[in-house]
Structure 1
Amino acid sequence: MGAPARKQRSGSRMGARLTVWASDHGRAAVGALGRLARSRVASIMTAGVLGIALALPAAFLLLLDNLERHAGDWDDGAQVSLFLQADVSPEDQAALAASLAERTSIRRTEVVSPDEALEEFQAVAGMDDALAFLDENPLPPLVIVYPVTGTPADEIEALTAEMGEHEAVDTARLDLEWVQRLQAIMELSRRAAWLVVILLAAAVIMVVGNTIRLAIENRREEIVVTKLIGGTNAFIRRPFLYEGAWYGIIGGVLATVLVEGGRLLLSGPLERLASLYQTGPLLTGLGLQGTLALWAAGIALGLCGSWLAVGRHLADIEPR
């Protein structure tokens, strides 16, 4: 028999094994879904717990992502105030502002004359009568520098120190404290969110594991018979793993519905708030990528919980 015939026969055997493997897994997946359907109430309750446990951290992380996206716009408030020497002429003030605006790290500059600064102070402080007794304007000329949006705080601090050494600058003050506080709060919130994710993921694994454990106990006699006729642990384990995966899929879908439903409930007030602040949408949804990630997380947690339960309890069931 020639080599081509042997290759053809080997290929047909491999194809047959692949067909049997796919058929076995298909029957296990469909059978697991059928068992969940037969115990509909218990399955819905377990999937509901998974959905809520997945929805809470997903909503929290989605909210943080939206806040960070808008925090990028709020970084426009970071500015450097350059208080110039009192004898700097208006021409030199404009020249200094223009030269600084040419830097790639600076978005724009603004010159505030002493008269303009005094008028603004009067409007804010409401001390027109007291300020009228001043013989001269005590406020210095000012150049406000706006760094490029998203520039790290340490780079802005270095830029402030550099501009403060200019001969025309008396004092350079960086107005960045509130931005740094905001960034610190966002970082703390993100770490807290991931801590919640870890805790709820552990809870999901335990819920799925306990559910699969009960399913194993309910099918103890069937498992014993299967082992007596030569069924391997891998064969017996397969439908329970698919049950955990189905729980994860259903829980992921429920979590998506909960998150998007909550966002839609808040969309009306948020749109009115966005129109008042003349900004874009304040709260975006999960999107396709976020939805798929949520479903994948549900499947992974469901498989993990079922694998741990089956690995622990299946070995204890042996024919006597």
Structure 2
Amino acid sequence: MLRIRKNNQQRDDNSFFPRWKRQIHYAWQNVYNDFRQHAIASLLTIIVIAISITLPTIGYLLWKNANQAAHQWYPTPNLTVYINKTLNQKDTDNLIKQITQFPEVERVNYLSRDETLQEFKLWSGFSEALELLDENPLPAVAIIMPKDEAKQTAILHAIQTEIVKLKGVDDVRLDDSWFTRLTTFTDMVKTIVWTISIFMMIAVALVIGNSIRLAIFSRRQTIIVMQLIGATDGFILRPFLYSGMFNGFISAILALILSEIFIFRIDAIILNVSSVFGTIFNLEGLNWDESLFIILIATMIGWLSALLATKKYLNMPHIN
């Protein structure tokens, strides 16, 4: 009975999940031992990787907050429709109804001739001069607020072209100069951030790959012995893959901390600058989704660069 119980226990220990658990534990034990034996070199590698991740992260934060500031400080782009002064109220209502039916239009604010005159007196400073006129020289206007998906220069110009053809419309004005400049600026910042991110990801992959190659060279005799006794490539690869993932993961965490420190340090400066413009603006850091995405990307880069480096050097003659 005791022999049967031992045999069953041995079969259970040699089943898939116990063997897989032991291999995982062995791999992480190797990662820990290697980190402890080369603590200073490992920390320096992690710091270099973290700085490489921090630079594009800060660039993304600047682009993100620039977009937010643009929406806060600048008005929504709109079109101003100048209605013919000879139109009666019924025709004007029909015209407003036609404009409202455009799919790109969210809403239309109508100002009668009297309302436009009052607005002009309020903002122009020529109220006394206007009192001398026999009649109101200003037309009624319709201010068109486009939908969010229509707030693009090409779409706004297309709407302008269509509305100016309507009967009773004298002119349609679109003040999109600031909008074009803002769109161009944010697109430029976005392109710069993506370019820096690509170069930094390549740098991260190279740094992790180089650290893995150094680890392979320092343990090449051990690898040769493991191959001689029949260890599979997967068993040999696993500690190095986990090491690359570990470096990417810890570096991403450190990069997130550095990014938050950056936001905290310059938030007071930005607050003082925004108060000069008569508004309050606080910088926003990374949310949970963005932070998780950065951690996953860094971990995947660490795994992939470790895989490529290990595969390459395991196939070299001096390793085999």
Letter in 2 for 1:140: L
Q: 1:167 to 1:284 in 2, by over 3 A?
A: same
1:6 corresponding residue in structure 2: none
2:146 corresponding residue in structure 1: 148
Bigger Cα displacement from structure 2, 259-268 vs 12-21: 12-21
Contact conserved, 1:97 with 1:110, CA < 8 A, in 2? no
Specify the SS of the correspondent of 2:315. Answer: helix
1:31 corresponding residue in structure 2: 30
2:194 corresponding residue in structure 1: 194
1:265 corresponding residue in structure 2: 265
Contact conserved, 1:80 with 1:172, CA < 8 A, in 2? yes
- Residues 243-258 of structure 1: pairs in structure 2 closer than 5 A: 243-258=243-258
* CA displacement at 1:305 relative to structure 2: 1.8
Please list the CA deviations of residues 31-85 of structure 1 after superposition, one character each: whole Å capped at 9, or x if unmatched. 2123112211111110011111111112222332343345456674312122233
Letter in 2 for 1:173: R
Write the distance in 2 (CA, Å) between the matches of 1:319 and 1:168.
84
Please list the CA deviations of residues 77-105 of structure 1 after superposition, one character each: whole Å capped at 9, or x if unmatched. 3121222334456x579747864685572
Q: 1:307 to 1:139 in 2, by over 3 A?
A: farther
Contact conserved, 1:93 with 1:143, CA < 8 A, in 2? no
Please list the CA deviations of residues 270-306 of structure 1 after superposition, one character each: whole Å capped at 9, or x if unmatched. 4566777557x64322222112111111111111221
2:4 corresponding residue in structure 1: none
Contact conserved, 1:101 with 1:107, CA < 8 A, in 2? no
Q: 1:60 to 1:157 in 2, by over 3 A?
A: same
Write the distance in 1 (CA, Å) between the matches of 2:142 and 2:232.
76
1:115 corresponding residue in structure 2: 117
Identity of aligned residues (%): 23
* CA displacement at 1:169 relative to structure 2: 1.9
1:47 aligns with 2:49: no
Write the distance in 1 (CA, Å) between the matches of 2:38 and 2:315.
25
Contact conserved, 2:83 with 2:142, CA < 8 A, in 1? no
Letter in 2 for 1:230: G
Q: TM-score under structure 1 normalisation?
A: 0.79
Write the distance in 1 (CA, Å) between the matches of 2:282 and 2:91.
39
Write the distance in 2 (CA, Å) between the matches of 1:23 and 1:61.
41
- Residues 39-188 of structure 1: pairs in structure 2 closer than 5 A: 39-69=38-68, 71=70, 76-88=75-87, 91=89, 95=93, 99=97, 103=101, 105-111=105-111, 113=113, 115-116=117-118, 118-119=120-121, 122-123=124-125, 140-152=138-150, 153=152, 154-188=154-188
Contact conserved, 2:79 with 2:143, CA < 8 A, in 1? yes
Letter in 2 for 1:65: K
Bigger Cα displacement from structure 2, 287-296 vs 141-150: 141-150
Specify the SS of the correspondent of 1:316. Answer: coil
Write the distance in 1 (CA, Å) between the matches of 2:82 and 2:96.
16
Letter in 1 for 2:249: I
